[in-house]
Amino acid sequence: MPTFKIDGREIPFEKGETVIQAAQRAGIDIPHYCWHPGLSVAANCRMCLVEVAPPPGRPALMLNVLSYDPDTGEYVDQQKPKLQPACQQVVAEGMDIRSESSKHVSRARAAVQEFLLLNHPVDCPICDQAGECRLQDYWLEHQHEAKRMHDEPVHKPKAQIFGPTIVYDAERCIVCTRCVRFCEEVAQDPVLSVRERGNVNEIVVSPGRQLDNPYTLMTEHVCPVGALTASDFRFKARVWFLRSARSVCQGCATGCNAYLDYDPRNQTIYRHRPRENAQVNRYWMCDDGMLDYQRAHENRLSDARLGSARSHRGDSPHPETPESVPVGAALDRAAELLRSADPAKVAVLLSAQHSLEDNFALLDLAQRAFWSSNSSGAGGARRESLGSSRVFATGRPAGEGDQILRHQDKNPNSAGVAALLAPARPQNFAALSAAIDAGAITHVLALGSDIDPGNVAGDSRVASLGRLQALVTLGTWEGPLSRAAHVLLPASSWAESDGQFMNAQGMVQESEQAVQPLGQSRPAWKLAAAIGVRLGLPIPWRTLEELRGAFAGRPLAAEPASKRSLQPGAVS
């Protein structure tokens, strides 16, 4: 690999790379505002200026400047080298770059920083960006002096509504055009542009339009300052109180890598933001995904419930007023119902909304409880063939997709469920409904909350759940499955437990626990283990490691992609 030098340090680079790219790969931080690794180069902020030493034997390109001498109070002629933006300068073999070591560069950076703050309002105390703002960071690192201008700063529009999700403050804007380039290049909806020039310029939305494409929140995320703020996050939390868990977005089958930012003090999640992964989502996420964190708190089930199982057999799709009970009592009741069932008429409904761990636990439980007792050999293939006819899977209904990130399948683990059952194919909810109606299934052990009714109206499908003798649901959210349940056990959400998910590309990715489980809820696989214990089964997995070991032999259990390809570090 060819090399070049930054501040005397030898750095390898690939042909065509710019200075800033090669430096970043080597762990050298060159300050920048407008450059973003996922966007085109604009080179307009001038923060990344570096000094390029002339090739050997050639004179340096020098500029004549007037510089103020504070001692004599006069301007004197001086020369300084022509600096180059590191984001635009393509590296050549043997190039000698001076960044931290050049006094011209530090002066330039201080000057750029002073210039960018010239008209900046005194907004830090009320600005959501404070604490993760480049202007703050770079001021201390590269300028740390007061500005010399004492005039009234230029005033521009504040709190402009750009669309349903974004609010713009022109006074805070440094017009780096990252948002403009993002809309044009990634979201493919060039709805933002720059109006005017000089110190009155600002970002505007195209006339007659709103910033309302499916990727609007990314404009806020790429904004290096507090100019664009998300209506969802505005004034909700201070970022220095938040901690981040490395999670996987639950919004669709793409499985974007994300950070789940939560406040450990009140165990509340405040936002989702993309985590860099070149193979999955690069630097981006869609709006649905970024707002998907809300599901960790909304519409949640926190208590176990018992429906009156006997009173409504047949007609009513809903149990009578359910009562909240301790989880232990609900587990007892679930075991009682399942023990009394005819093993041939028990079905398992897996969920593409849940992790591999949860799904495997339920499947393994059902196999041990219902499908292996009367079989002669307990070989894996035999068990699968026994069980597969009574394994069903569902999830959230399909939605809109696009060519950028959004997948039509709105479940994070559809591929994982299919892989768990391979080579058999999971049957959909319509098949389960038909089997219930035909009387072939009387008891269902279900995971998840939502059902995908397929192309038929949902009501008739849901109605068939009411004909069950027992429906034991391990659910996270309120939904058709929880409402129809005779025994409802509260499962924790992805934000409250570690779990693996297989995305549409077939990559297994790990999502970390952020907050403590809500109320009485606990991971679904632990609930499954507890049911197994009450059924008197030898459950060999009591810890997450044991559980993962139990399905490690399956084809899906490749090395988790999230561990392999993800480096810590925020998106630039």
Partner 1 sequence: METQDLDLERSELELDAEPMFINVGPAHPAMHGTVRCQMELSGEVIERVDVQVGYLHRGFEKMCERGTWSQVYPYVDRCNYVSPMLNNVGFSLACEKMLGIEVTPRCAYYRIALGELARMSDHLTCDGAMAMELGAFTPFLWMIKGREMIWDIMEEETGARLTHSFGRVGGMASPPTDGFKETARTAVAEILAIVEESERLLFGNRIFLDRLQGIGKISAEDAISLGWTGPCLRASGVPYDVRKAHPYGRYDEFDFDVPVGSEGDCLDRFVVRIEEIKQSARIIEQALKKLPSSGPINVDDPRVVLPPKEQVYNTIEGTIRHFKVIMEGLKIPAGEVYSYTEGGNGELGFYLVSDGSGTPYRVRIRPPCFLVTSGLERVITGAMVSDVVPCFGSLNMIGGECDR
Q: Which residues bind partner 1 (CB under 8 A)?
A: 117, 120-125, 130-131, 135-136, 139-140, 143-147, 240
Closer residue to partner 1 in complex, CB, 119/562: 119
Tokens describing residue 391:
């394994």
Closer residue to partner 1 in complex, CB, 119/433: 119
Closer residue to partner 1 in complex, CB, 124/434: 124
- Determine the residue type at 46: R
Three-state secondary structure of 450-496: CCCCCCCCHHHHHHHHCCCCEEEEEECECCHHHHCCCEEEEECCHHH
Contact 271, 290 (CB under 8 A): yes
Closer residue to partner 1 in complex, CB, 151/298: 151
Q: How far is the CB of 101 from partner 1 (least distance, A)?
A: 19
Closer residue to partner 1 in complex, CB, 2/131: 131
Q: How far is the CB of 143 from partner 1 (least distance, A)?
A: 8
Which one, of 475, 477, 472, 523, lies nearest residue 497 by Cα?
Answer: 523
Q: How far is the CB of 120 from partner 1 (least distance, A)?
A: 5
Q: How far is the CB of 153 from partner 1 (least distance, A)?
A: 9
Closer residue to partner 1 in complex, CB, 75/235: 235
- Helix locations, 188-240, DSSP H: 216-222
Q: How far is the CB of 24 from partner 1 (least distance, A)?
A: 20
Tokens describing residue 556:
């899906």
Q: How far is the CB of 150 from partner 1 (least distance, A)?
A: 9
Q: In what order do the strands lie in the sheet with 9-12?
A: 9-12, 3-6, 96-98, 49-52, 84-85
In whole angstroms, what is the distance from residue 384 CA to residue 387 CA? Answer: 5
Closer residue to partner 1 in complex, CB, 136/294: 136
The residue ranges of DSSP E strands in 298-437, in sequence order, are 304-306, 323-325, 346-351, 391-394
**Positive or negative CA dihedral for 528, 533, 539, 541?**
positive
Q: How far is the CB of 41 from partner 1 (least distance, A)?
A: 28
What single-letter DSSP state applies at residue 239?
G
Which residues, 6 or more positions from 467, have their beta carbon under 8 angstroms from its beta carbon? Answer: 313, 314, 436, 437
Q: How far is the CB of 267 from partner 1 (least distance, A)?
A: 19
Closer residue to partner 1 in complex, CB, 117/347: 117
Q: How big is the chain, counted in residues? A: 572
Which one, of 288, 359, 369, lies nearest residue 538 by Cα?
Answer: 369
- Torsion of Cα atoms, 9 then 12 then 14 then 18, to 10°: -10
